[in-house]
Chain A
């Protein structure tokens, strides 16, 4: 996918004044968060499971070469094939080869972020193969020819009227005056349009939430059942997965599965958790005749052994997006590439470079909610800080930021002066601001006051108050 991450600031300026987007995002703030909390309150072991899940993935990453080889051996034994791919280009070519091998004209697709990462749809279209997204949200955005704005709710930036428009334009074989007001009729319509496509597809491509080294199986998790029709009806099932999705055993997957749906949608378990191993067996009445795993690196092994390694524990649940005040304000498209929100702010620079994605790790107040909800205990704010450090070291930050930081560093290294000056500033700002309790304009702070008021300090700095408290105790 072509990145517009460099334009993050412009993207944001547009996003925050876009009424349709803001309406759609407004609905997000309550749903996911409330449901997640309700689900984890019903599972007292949730925190312990988070520790175990973190340890499982750490164990896998430390032994990744072993588990990958073992996984490949089991896939092969079950009659499948693993395609090792260093780059997006290699993965696209591997998939094209499989499609050509079965003479594919249409390909159904379950939801896959890796497919977005390698811009698979555009590529297949260029090669004369029609890709059909089957997840309802993905189908809607495919019709609109836009990328997903959320990793599990790809069309979350849209309102019902947008869906009606898209269906009116695409489903021209249907009566243009049909009633479309009810969301259920829209779902019905999509189901009706997609069913024959499922039955006609030659190849089905899904992602993988997990790969199991013990058995060479892959697991997908969905609510619609589209990922299942995608894989059991066509001649060939292609699993497109990045290599960190491995877990040793089903037991290990089960532990993480207990966290996944609860963290994502607040469900206790997703509707469909499907374990696929090899092609159909002799005597089976249905199922694919070929099973391929396209195993993609695309920069992941560069993260291994660095301060960003922990990011490879990510299970793409989206809890960090759903709890991020920045994401909730600007939406997913502003981030300009495949992965938005806090996980994207860390992952995107590792995959497309900090030169391109430098804005993302800076778009955070370090409020820490992402880390507090991450089921895999990934220290996202810490890693965003690492990116800021790298950016600074490589002289990629703007001159004004560097000058500001240099001034602050000079100041902060002189504690007496620092305390004196901040104490005076707090007193003055407190004194003059007492009347209305806030400032609508401040010298040197227009970047802040243009968008919102600056609350007037109450006259004492944190250091003053701390010293007083220490004395009192």
Chain B
């Protein structure tokens, strides 16, 4: 191994006045890592399914996201089309190649023009799903993979997220527990926790929306 590596580890051990940790100590630390326990979870993030969905809707809007609620997946194409029209945006978008999104009857709205894939930068609007949503702060959790290119979360000016209510959890820890279960140890390359649209306060501390990421973040929440 490199000199730098052994020197750094050596100076840490010297500073802590000990050698490499003994086997029993290592085993205890491995056990802590092998079975991660949540620390204190704020009371706000705890509640039944209905409560956390309501909290998510409130918190997301507090973070300047917009949100419409629909009764079923059948209502999603209409909700998306209405939203785009309300913002004077064209009825066309790039969509994540996500089998879950493909179950939505998009063809019932033939005016919508849909391309599936990643974004190269020219798309005005993207539509994606989400792995989970965290009610605590109104945060969407999106994971990269063949069904969800990360560029869709950042390059288009408008990002529409289709979110079944069953994906809403209370705290971040619960979302991560679901991720561990789905991905067996190694998380996907990119996990994006997104709370509202992009912003910057770098000019005279004035809050300006749409810095490099999307200017608008819109959630279509399906009360399934």
Binding site for B on A (CB under 8 A): 24, 27-28, 31, 43-45, 48-49, 52, 56, 62-70, 77-78, 84-86, 90, 134-137, 140, 153-156, 159-160, 163, 183-184, 186-187, 191, 194-195, 198-199, 213-215, 217, 223-226, 228-229, 231-233, 243, 248-252, 254-255, 257-258, 265, 267-281, 283-287, 297, 301-302, 304-306
Chain A residue nearest in CB terms to B42: A45
Q: Which residues of B contact A270 (CB under 8 A)?
A: 195
* Contact present for B204 and A27 (CB under 8 Å): yes
B23-46: contact bitstring with A at CB < 8 Å (1 yes, 0 no)?
A: 001100100110011111011100
Shortest C-beta distance, B84 to chain A (Å), equals 21
Given A229-B155, A275-B190, A304-B16, 13 new contacts (CB under 8 A) = A43-B44, A44-B43, A62-B16, A70-B29, A191-B212, A229-B154, A243-B8, A248-B33, A251-B37, A265-B201, A269-B63, A271-B199, A297-B11
In the A-B complex, the 9 residue pairs with the closest CB atoms: A225-B213, A224-B211, A137-B202, A305-B15, A304-B15, A269-B137, A249-B36, A273-B193, A275-B191
Chain A residue nearest in CB terms to B34: A214
B155-175: contact bitstring with A at CB < 8 Å (1 yes, 0 no)?
A: 100000000000000011100
* Contact present for B204 and A160 (CB under 8 Å): yes
Chain A residue nearest in CB terms to B155: A229
Q: Which residues of B contact A223 (CB under 8 A)?
A: 198-201, 211
A155 to B188 CA separation, bound complex (whole angstroms): 34
* Contact present for B29 and A63 (CB under 8 Å): yes
Chain A residue nearest in CB terms to B157: A191
Q: Which residues of A contact B198 (CB under 8 A)?
A: 223-225, 271-272
Shortest C-beta distance, A33 to chain B (Å), equals 12
Shortest C-beta distance, A38 to chain B (Å), equals 12
* Contact present for A195 and B121 (CB under 8 Å): yes
Chain A residue nearest in CB terms to B16: A305
Q: Which residues of B contact A135 (CB under 8 A)?
A: 202
* Contact present for A297 and B199 (CB under 8 Å): no
B176-215: contact bitstring with A at CB < 8 Å (1 yes, 0 no)?
A: 1000000001111111111111111111111010111110
Q: Which residues of B contact A285 (CB under 8 A)?
A: 97, 117-118, 146, 149, 151
Q: Which residues of A contact B7 (CB under 8 A)?
A: 86
* Contact present for A228 and B37 (CB under 8 Å): no
Chain B residue nearest in CB terms to A187: B208
* Contact present for A284 and B144 (CB under 8 Å): yes
Chain A residue nearest in CB terms to B64: A271
The verdict on B126 contacting chain A, using a C-beta distance below 8 Å, is no
* Contact present for A301 and B8 (CB under 8 Å): yes
Q: List 22 A-B contacts (CB under 8 A).
A: A27-B204, A28-B205, A45-B40, A63-B21, A65-B13, A66-B21, A66-B29, A136-B203, A155-B203, A159-B204, A160-B204, A223-B199, A251-B36, A254-B176, A255-B39, A269-B193, A271-B213, A273-B195, A278-B189, A281-B145, A304-B15, A306-B15
Chain B residue nearest in CB terms to A213: B33
* Contact present for A224 and B199 (CB under 8 Å): yes
Supposing A84-B2, A213-B33 touch, asked if A283 and B189 sit within 8 A by C-beta, the answer is no
Partner of B8, one of A27, A84, A134: A84
* Contact present for A301 and B186 (CB under 8 Å): no
* Contact present for B154 and A66 (CB under 8 Å): no
* Contact present for A249 and B213 (CB under 8 Å): no
Chain B residue nearest in CB terms to A277: B187
* Contact present for B36 and A286 (CB under 8 Å): no
Supposing A68-B9, A136-B203, A160-B203 touch, asked if A184 and B186 sit within 8 A by C-beta, the answer is no
Supposing A213-B33, A229-B154, A280-B189 touch, asked if A48 and B149 sit within 8 A by C-beta, the answer is no
A198 to B120 CA separation, bound complex (whole angstroms): 11
Q: Which residues of A contact B25 (CB under 8 A)?
A: 63, 66
Q: Which residues of B contact A49 (CB under 8 A)?
A: 39-40, 42
Q: Which residues of B contact A199 (CB under 8 A)?
A: 120-121
Q: Which residues of B contact A163 (CB under 8 A)?
A: 203
Residue with the greatest number of chain B CB neighbours at <10 A, chosen from A184, A258, A283, A306: A258
Partner of A272, one of B12, B171, B213: B213
A257 to B137 CA separation, bound complex (whole angstroms): 12
B131-152: contact bitstring with A at CB < 8 Å (1 yes, 0 no)?
A: 0000011010000111001110
Chain B residue nearest in CB terms to A295: B8
Shortest C-beta distance, B195 to chain A (Å), equals 5
A446 to B212 CA separation, bound complex (whole angstroms): 52
